[in-house]
Amino acid sequence: AQRVTQPEKLLSVFKGAPVELKCNYSYSGSPELFWYVQYSRQRLQLLLRHISRESIKGFTADLNKGETSFHLKKPFAQEEDSAMYYCALKGDFGNEKLTFGTGTRLTIIP
Amino acid sequence: DTEVTQTPKHLVMGMTNKKSLKCEQHMGHRAMYWYKQKAKKPPELMFVYSYEKLSINESVPSRFSPECPNSSLLNLHLHALQPEDSALYLCASSQAVGSRSYEQYFGPGTRLTVT
């Protein structure tokens, strides 16, 4: 079974402060991890994935297999970062199910 | 065209009605997905189509019937739904299944209300 846990339903951060959204997962094989974001009145869209190891909009996330975590980080929060963030896991080859965590609503305080 | 489109945006139906949700993409993607999202909950996978064949059915009740008539279209036929089926139904597509790192592109969803 595959499971994704996001412990914080709500997170408020002051503009300019660092942001960390936590994500832990449970999966016995080699998963792929993603962060999806949903801005107000917009569709769900991919923010980043662990395989590409890229930084999007200043966000980064490192897969820590020892701690089974994939936390999302940004050093300096901006007001436009306010959104709903979902961590998601896709299983090995042949297991195409994308399982989402419960999501964290991030609010940036001006 | 890099978008997934869904029609209708909103749908209200009675428990005895038959209706269909439509999803379309013209990105050449060969995998398409239906998700159900209840209020304040994450999307939950319902069905996956790969090369127009159903590859995953997440034990969805038979009152939901998916159909993939061609590689660009995905339908969800609804019949005898229950009020608890009211939700946002999301369609998504990706290049293919069976390969790593394929991003899923989501549509805006159809807001379904069953009365």
What are the tens digits of pLDDT across the range A33-78?
999 999 998 999 999 988 777 788 999 998 999 999 999 999 999 9
Q: How far is B107 from chain A (nearest CA, A)?
A: 6
Residues A104, A6: Cα–Cα separation, whole Å: 7
**Phi and psi angles of residue A79, each rounded to the nearest 5 degrees, phi first:** -60, -35
Contacts of A100 in chain B (CB under 8 A): 42-44
pLDDT band at B99 (very low <50, low <70, confident <90, very high): low
Picking from B56, B101, B103, the nearest residue to A97 by CB comes out as B56
pLDDT for B100: 61
- Whether residue A86 lies within 8 A of chain B, CB to CB, comes out as yes
pLDDT for B98: 64
Residues B84, B80: Cα–Cα separation, whole Å: 12
| Nearest C-alpha in A relative to B92 | A44
pLDDT band at B89 (very low <50, low <70, confident <90, very high): very high
Residues B79, A9: Cα–Cα separation, whole Å: 34
CB A106 within 8 A of CB A21: yes
Residues A23, A90: Cα–Cα separation, whole Å: 14
User: How many CB atoms sit inside 10 A of residue B94's CB?
Assistant: 23
